[in-house]
Amino acid sequence: MTGPAIRARGLKKRFGEVRAVGGIDIEVSKGELFGFLGPNGAGKTTTMSMLTGLSRPDAGSIEIGGIDCSRNPKAAQHLIGVVSDESNLYPELSGFDNLCFSGALYGMRRQDRSRKASELLELFGLVDASSRKFSGYSKGMKRRLVIAAAIMHSPPLLFLDEPTSGIDVESSRMIRQLLTGLHRQGVTIFLTTHFIGEAERLCDRIAFIASGRIVRTDTVERLLQPVQGRYALTVSLSGGCPIPLGELEVAFPGLDFQLQAPDELRVESGEPLKAGSLVRFLEDRGVEVIEARKRVLSLEDVFVEITGIGAGSMLKEKEGRWR
């Protein structure tokens, strides 16, 4: 490959009246592990479909490894491996035969694809299931085999759409380890995910997309700078109790208070927070505290601040609880 691994300019895509992607620019360097984050409906999968030649953009240009794919979306297929959020393997073929068939599609010789299939089955922990039909695999095993099939031809660029979504913990952990290994070998990885903690651990740079537009692209280190060394406490309260914000600000001058909802108080500080004194203060004033959760601020908080989108189910946090 020459030039950046991926260069896209002004990508747009509509589905009827719905604007899925509204003019975005992306550039990914060779050997980079690039995260593409956003909520459901933000345009992640549509963008990846355009970058991989599965969908034509309404406007914009795409280069993959220096190859102009604007007129011929399939021109760079030999350079990429694609792991979609749905399985594209054959349910009646065994794991071994699915891998060999994938290799054949890329013109690998019979001897080479048999050898590579055996190596990947070992690497992905699927040797014992190699002769079983793909339809009999668990969801986590299926995801592992789909990734193995995508790298059968040793592509320098790998696209993955939600690779750890909805699978067991063991498979998720194995996939993250495999991606780290591929990254170290110099493979360029374009990763879409709902799990911000996963992207924070794996990626070199991250782009946040919301409502079809990229709102921020930066290194993980720079994205985390505004929240480094800050701590948060979320206090869930019984409904109907007035929260004495003014009194709290006077009694705890070093803390920042924000009412997230009528029954939820968020507290931030540059120092580790002690929940006990705050909880006692509230209860002494007749406010019933149901739960307090504390954590160090993370990339999740950066995402919410930049996009204005609530964390919801896509964001995972490490938290301690007092009941």
Which residue in the block uniquely carries the two structure tokens 């374009």?
190
CA distance 238 to 306: 30
CA atoms within 13 A on the CB side of 149: 27
Could you tell me where the DSSP H helices lie in the chain? Answer: 44-51, 95-105, 110-123, 139-150, 169-184, 196-202, 220-224, 245-251, 275-284, 299-307
* pLDDT mean over 264-279: 87
Cut 0.85: pTM above it: no
CA distance 129 to 239: 53
Task: Name the residue type at position 84.
Answer: S
Among the residue ranges 10-19, 50-59, 74-83, 259-268, the one predicted with the least confidence is 259-268
At 309 the pLDDT is 66
With contact defined as beta carbons under 8 Å apart, do 279 and 235 qualify?
yes
* pLDDT mean over 237-263: 85
At 149, the pLDDT band (50, 70, 90 cuts) reads very high
pLDDT at 241 over 80: no
Task: Name the residue type at position 193.
Answer: T
Question: What are the tens digits of pLDDT across the range 285-323?
Answer: 888 999 998 877 788 888 887 876 654 434 333 333 322
Chain centroid, CA 124 distance in Å: 21
CA distance 68 to 57: 13
Among the residue ranges 20-24, 70-74, 212-216, the one predicted with the least confidence is 70-74
Question: What are the tens digits of pLDDT across the range 62-110?
Answer: 999 999 998 888 889 999 999 987 778 999 999 999 999 999 999 999 9
